[in-house]
């Protein structure tokens, strides 16, 4: 046992490195490893290490079976055992895109080391085959446009698209036929989501996967082809750079408020392909399996949707983008559906047979903008508080409106006033939804208001993954806010505050100075000459009057604008403000003009 105490990360990393060198694991290590494993790992990986713990059936991909000695993420050649460092790395960092979390912060360095020792005892190969050697790679060449373009060509020439699709979204011809060595369905990686790559998202990680393959999955290794002279190392690096370039640098994180940008009246993009969408900000909303109401679904296919939204003061348009490996219903995926339904627990509800099912997405809002914090239940409302929905389905391919009072309990509201356009291409759905801010039927439909946060939530289905009804993916409530034009008062108020504070400052300083002069003069017995006629003060009075008049004019403009836009309350209150400002301006102007100077103030 190296240490009993919890170690800082740096020391733990050093211990991890030292594990590279073969050192016989002590019996103590293995015993401690067994305890930790039983407490934290056996639920999924099984007490026997066979990957069949009680929770295993709720997960795809399944937890690793340690008894075979077959490991997906390694630094060693295909078919070889992993190094101790490889195993430790997965324990530390987990496997993105799967249910395996990282344990670096949770377990001490010694405990994680002990786990490595214990996990290796499940397979005799670690003893019989001896310590494996990691493959040696040259360092990564820097990324460049040329490398990425070359990588793209190489991607096509070695036919990565067979599984990963023409654009890399995991939608290749063969993607519906993929199984792992255990016979469970497995999805080809969506290369646009580096944050879900099982072996990590850096260019080096991607390159290492290409060299070592992902043992136990259909992903091959390319080391043999390099050794045989069919491709060069450089070409493989280009490929790694191309794959990395498909994903954003950083993992997208959701924002609580989706900003609906404002465009000039009539400038709202009416079509999916409109170039103006390119300028609209994109907001990522993660979706997770609906595991709240019966029947639950632990293997959702749609894990996020990108939302873009614009309005022009009279209409609002949304463009939703999400990845889906097939345009459902696709008969080529019926067999896949059978595999998924057989593999996934819990098998709740009905219709657990493969069947042609459409893709779909539902956008939901409250029927009216909530006054306080109360909202309808995010999972499609309930009996007392319905939600207002736009339901789109790939069959027939248009969107309709509805009021829902719970999962699958809804009342259709027709399609009047809701325009939609959808397209599936290379593993990606895009959907345009457009409606006037003021609805056809204000009694049952949401009226969008500018400048106010409005709750929004999503529900998506991939029909070819056997999803329908409650089996799908969900989001909780987010907000949209329609951008408003900055009102002139936003700039007026600071100006007024500046002038007011500055004026007050001048008054205070002048008073203090005059009193100081008087005190000094009195002390010296001098009688001060009378103050000159204050032409300055007169000018100041007129300037203030003119400024108030200017404000009054601006307020009158706001008022007229408010009435014209049909916002009578805005029009009314600006009219009141105009009145006060006019009175203030007249008093200042007339008062200054009529005022006669009567010599210095007597005190």
Partner 1 sequence: MGRYTKHPFWQSLAVVVVSYALIRWGIAYLPGLVGITSAPVPASVVLQYTAIVLVGVLVWVSDNEERWTRFKEPIHAALVEPDKKVVRMSMMAVVPLLVAFATFNNVRPTISAPASLRSIHPAPPTQITFRGETIVLEGLENPLREPDLEEAAFELGKELYYQNCMPCHGDYLNAGGHYAPGFNPTPLELRGSSTIAQLTESFVFWRIAKGGPGLPREGGPWNSAMPVWEDFLTADEIWAVTLFLYDQAGIAPRTWEEEGIEE
Q: Which stretch binds partner 1 (CB under 8 A): 17-25, 28-36, 357-365, 377-385?
A: 377-385
Which runs of E-coded beta strand occur in 396-551?
Answer: 399-404, 410-412, 419-425, 428-436, 453-461, 473-474, 478-482
Q: How far is the CB of 85 from partner 1 (least distance, A)?
A: 22
Does 9 contact partner 1 by CB under 8 A?
no
Q: Which stretch binds partner 1 (CB under 8 A): 117-125, 140-148, 317-325, 502-510?
A: 502-510
Instruction: Identify the sign of the CA torsion 175, 180, 186, 188.
Output: negative
Q: How far is the CB of 562 from partner 1 (least distance, A)?
A: 16
Cα–Cα distances in angstroms (integers) from residue 192 to residues 72, 201, 323, in the given order: 21, 11, 9
Residue 93 to residue 199: CA distance in whole angstroms: 9
Answer for which of 262, 368, 481, 582 binds partner 1 (CB under 8 A) is 481
Answer for which of 52, 78, 99, 398 binds partner 1 (CB under 8 A) is 99
b/e per residue, 6-30, with b = 16+ CB within 10 A?
ebeeeebeebbeebeeeeebeeebb
The backbone region for 477, taken as left when phi is positive above 0, alpha when psi lies in -120 to 50, beta otherwise, is: beta
Q: Which is nearer to partner 1, 444 or 481 (CB)?
A: 481
Closest to 17 in 3D by CA, of 65, 97, 70, 88: 88
Does 44 contact partner 1 by CB under 8 A?
yes
Q: Which stretch binds partner 1 (CB under 8 A): 17-25, 394-402, 481-489, 570-578?
A: 481-489
Residue 115 to residue 49: CA distance in whole angstroms: 12
Q: How far is the CB of 96 from partner 1 (least distance, A)?
A: 9
What residues between 322 and 351 interact with partner 1 by CB under 8 A?
Answer: 345-346
Does 522 contact partner 1 by CB under 8 A?
no
Q: How far is the CB of 88 from partner 1 (least distance, A)?
A: 17
Neighbours of 119 (CB within 10 A): 25
Residue 317 to residue 418: CA distance in whole angstroms: 10
Does 186 contact partner 1 by CB under 8 A?
no
Answer for which of 30, 40, 85, 149 binds partner 1 (CB under 8 A) is 40
Does 478 contact partner 1 by CB under 8 A?
yes
What residues between 57 and 96 interact with partner 1 by CB under 8 A?
Answer: 58
Residue 41 to residue 56: CA distance in whole angstroms: 11
Q: Which stretch binds partner 1 (CB under 8 A): 40-48, 327-335, 350-358, 563-571?
A: 40-48
Q: Which is nearer to partner 1, 103 or 155 (CB)?
A: 103
Q: Which is nearer to partner 1, 288 or 549 (CB)?
A: 288
What residues between 390 and 409 interact with partner 1 by CB under 8 A?
Answer: none
Structure tokens at 327: 């345009």
What residues between 255 and 274 interact with partner 1 by CB under 8 A?
Answer: 256-257, 259
Beta-carbon contacts of residue 492 (< 8 Å; ≥ 6 apart): 551, 554
DSSP state of 344: P
Does 484 contact partner 1 by CB under 8 A?
yes
Cα–Cα distances in angstroms (integers) from residue 88 to residues 103, 119, 120, 133, 199, in the given order: 10, 10, 11, 16, 13
Q: Which is nearer to partner 1, 509 or 587 (CB)?
A: 509
Give contact residues for partner 1 (rule: CB under 8 A). 39-40, 43-44, 53-55, 58, 98-99, 101, 103, 106, 254, 256-257, 259, 286-289, 291-294, 298, 345-346, 373-378, 382, 385, 451, 453, 474-479, 481, 483-484, 486-487, 489-491, 493-499, 501-502, 505-506, 508-509, 512-513, 516
């Amino acid at each position: 046992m190296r240490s009993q105490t919890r170690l800082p990360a740096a020391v733990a990393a050093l211990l991890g490195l030292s594990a590279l060198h073969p050192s016989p694991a002590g019996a103590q290590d293995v015993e401690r490893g067994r305890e930790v494993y039983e407490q934290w790992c056996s639920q999924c990986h099984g007490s026997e290490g066979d990957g069949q713990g009680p929770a295993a059936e709720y997960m795809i991909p399944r937890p690793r079976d340690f008894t075979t000695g077959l490991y997906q993420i390694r630094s060693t050649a295909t078919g070889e055992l992993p190094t101790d460092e490889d195993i430790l790395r997965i324990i530390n960092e987990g496997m993105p895109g799967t249910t395996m979390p990282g344990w670096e912060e949770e377990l001490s360095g010694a405990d994680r080391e002990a786990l490595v020792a214990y996990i290796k005892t499940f397979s005799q190969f670690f003893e019989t085959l001896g310590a494996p050697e990691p493959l040696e790679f040259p360092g990564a060449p820097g990324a460049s446009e040329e490398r990425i373009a070359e990588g793209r060509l190489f991607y096509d020439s070695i036919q990565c698209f067979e599984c990963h699709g023409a654009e890399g979204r995991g939608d290749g011809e063969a993607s519906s036929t993929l199984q792992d060595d255990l016979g469970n369905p497995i999805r080809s990686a969506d290369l646009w989501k580096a944050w879900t790559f099982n072996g990590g998202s850096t260019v080096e990680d991607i390159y290492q996967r290409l060299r070592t393959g992902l043992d136990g999955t259909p992903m091959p290794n390319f080391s043999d082809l390099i050794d045989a002279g069919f491709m060069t190392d450089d070409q493989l690096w280009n490929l790694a750079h191309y794959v990395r370039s498909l994903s954003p640098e950083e993992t997208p994180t959701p924002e609580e408020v989706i900003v609906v940008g404002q465009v000039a009246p009539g400038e709202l993009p009416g079509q999916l392909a409109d170039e103006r969408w390119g300028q609209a900000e994109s907001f990522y909303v993660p979706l997770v399996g609906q595991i709240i109401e019966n029947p639950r679904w632990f293997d959702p296919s749609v894990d996020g949707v990108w939302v873009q939204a614009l309005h022009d003061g009279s209409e609002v348009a949304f463009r939703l983008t999400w990845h889906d490996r097939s345009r459902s219903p696709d008969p080529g995926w019926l067999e896949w559906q059978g595999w998924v339904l057989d593999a996934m627990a819990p098998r709740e509800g009905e219709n657990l047979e493969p069947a042609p099912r459409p893709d779909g997405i539902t956008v939901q809002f409250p029927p009216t903008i909530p006054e306080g914090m109360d909202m309808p239940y995010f999972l499609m409302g309930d009996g007392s508080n319905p939600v207002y929905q736009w339901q789109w389905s790939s069959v027939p391919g248009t969107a309709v409106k509805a009021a829902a009072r719970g999962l699958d309990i809804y009342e259709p509201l027709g399609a009047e006033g809701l325009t939609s356009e959808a397209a599936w291409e290379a593993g990606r759905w895009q959907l345009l939804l457009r409606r006037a801010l003021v609805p056809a039927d204000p009694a049952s439909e949401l009226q969008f208001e500018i400048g106010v946060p409005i709750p929004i939530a999503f529900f998506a289905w991939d029909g070819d993954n056997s999803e329908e009804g409650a089996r799908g993916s969900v989001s909780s409530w987010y907000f949209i806010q329609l951008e408003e034009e900055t009102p002139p008062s936003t700039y007026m108020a600071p100006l007024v505050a500046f002038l007011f504070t500055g004026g007050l400052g001048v008054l205070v300083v002048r008073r203090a100075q005059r009193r100081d002069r008087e005190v000094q003069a009195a002390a010296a017995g001098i009688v001060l000459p009378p103050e000159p006629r204050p032409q300055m003060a007169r000018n100041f009075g007129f300037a203030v009057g003119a400024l108030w008049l200017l404000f009054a004019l601006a307020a009158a403009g706001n008022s007229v604008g408010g009435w014209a836009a049909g916002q009578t309350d805005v029009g009314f209150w600006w009219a009141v403000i105009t009145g006060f400002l006019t009175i203030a301006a007249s008093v200042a102007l007339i008062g200054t003009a009529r005022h006669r100077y009567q010599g210095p103030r007597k005190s």
